[in-house]
Amino acid sequence: MSWFYADDNDNQHEVAEAELPGLITAGTIRRDTLIWNETMADWEKAQSVRADWFEGPDVPPELTNFQKKQIVAAGRAGPGGIPASKPADALASVRWCLAFLESFVSRFSHPSL
């Protein structure tokens, strides 16, 4: 039996049923991908049609190359393109905490006369 799925650009693709496991493993067809075959009245999310195709934990889709480039361009990329805070932000936070602690300690370290 042939199946159809709609990609992220709303393009429809016809595939044989035997191709579906590979497309699911590759992340081409996800839980929320709309699918249809001749026995169905309307397009439905893949997971609602065949939940057994998606056994296991939910995994977010991999970032596209465009998304990775945006993260890198914004200067927020850590290892593997994962967003990370800037060292300057961390240093500013540490300085603020030290200044706060210094004022707190100085306030209570002198006995009142």
pLDDT digits (tens, 9 = 90+) for 39-97: 999 999 999 998 888 876 666 677 788 888 877 777 655 555 555 555 566 677 778 77
Average pLDDT (88-107) is 74
Lateral strand order in the sheet of 2-6: 12-16, 2-6, 34-36, 44-45
Question: pTM for the full model?
Answer: 0.49
More confident residue, 102 or 88: 102
Give the separation between CA 39 and CA 56, rounded to whole angstroms.
27
Which of 95, 74, 96 lies closest to 85 in space, CA to CA? 74
Residue 13 scores a pLDDT above 90 = yes
Beta bridge partners of 5: 13, 35
Give the separation between CA 85 and CA 105, rounded to whole angstroms.
29
